Amino acid sequence: MTSPDSYPKVLVGVVTYDGKHYIFPENYQCITSFDYPNYDWIIVDNSSNDVYVRKLRREGYKKVHKIKRAGNSRDTLSDSQNYVKNYFVKGDYDYLLMVESDLLPPPNTISRLMSYKLPIVGALYYLSDGVRRVPCIFFTDYKKEHASMGTRLIRQQEVSKFVGSGLRKVHGMGFGCALIRRDIIKDYNFWTDERFDNKHSDVYFYMQLQNRGVPVFVDTDFVVTHIPSKWGDVKDK
């Protein structure tokens, strides 16, 4: 019988706040029920006060940490991700599975993504702005107005040929459900740029990977349920 310790050690990292409690119990059930034999998890609450973290701990949820909220949600998210990163590095884990707090990954998530043996590979999940519903997939794109390369979200007309086409190389796929090897996590911090108030840390993270030639892949046959709240409900954008 194979010992759990013979499998790479995985940390599952979830960042949340009180505005995501509508899905928290379901998300927690998912991240604590993976079929992978050698993993741990950490939940980082970045709510504006300690009321929510006390509520979670009182209700019996384990491994919930608290950090102070920053000046806006983007910096707060980056601070939370760096807290997860530091915990990961100190814990001597081999892989980090980043799971956003409003996704519901199935039990085989770690096993499936680990089977590819890639530096970074993610599952596919959908975004919606109330009009469009497209996967969270980014491609490089030449920005004529800036005379430089940038990124774009997958176009609606590209979705049908992309989804269900197996393992695909992409520029990025957000942090909704992404398995990342230790050497990558150690090398990169999470950050945002105040000059671009509509961009989050994943944008800069994947740009850094591209600049260093690190390939990024997504399993387009593996779709994870995403139940987002309204971005407009966030007051400190």
User: In CATH, what number is assigned to the domain containing residue 133?
Assistant: 3.90.550.10
Would 156 be classed as within a structural domain?
yes
Would 237 be classed as within a structural domain?
no
Q: Where in the sequence is the domain holding 40, given as residue range(s)? A: 4-229
Q: What is the structure's pLDDT at 120?
A: 96
Would 75 be classed as within a structural domain?
yes
Would 235 be classed as within a structural domain?
no
Which stretches within 45-120 are classed as H helix?
51-58, 73-90, 109-114
pLDDT tens per residue across all 237 residues of the chain: 678 889 999 999 999 999 999 999 999 999 999 999 999 999 999 999 999 999 999 999 999 999 998 878 878 888 999 999 999 999 989 999 999 999 999 999 999 999 999 999 999 999 976 667 899 999 887 666 755 667 788 999 999 999 999 999 999 998 999 999 999 999 888 756 665 556 677 787 888 898 899 999 999 999 999 999 865 555 554
pTM assigned to the model: 0.91
Q: How far apart are CA 183 and CA 201, in angstroms?
A: 18
Q: What is the structure's pLDDT at 237?
A: 45
How many domains is the chain built from? 1
Would 32 be classed as within a structural domain?
yes
Q: What is the structure's pLDDT at 133?
A: 86
Would 213 be classed as within a structural domain?
yes
The DSSP H or E segment spanning 177 is strand 177-181
Would 234 be classed as within a structural domain?
no
Q: How far apart are CA 13 and CA 82, in angstroms?
A: 11
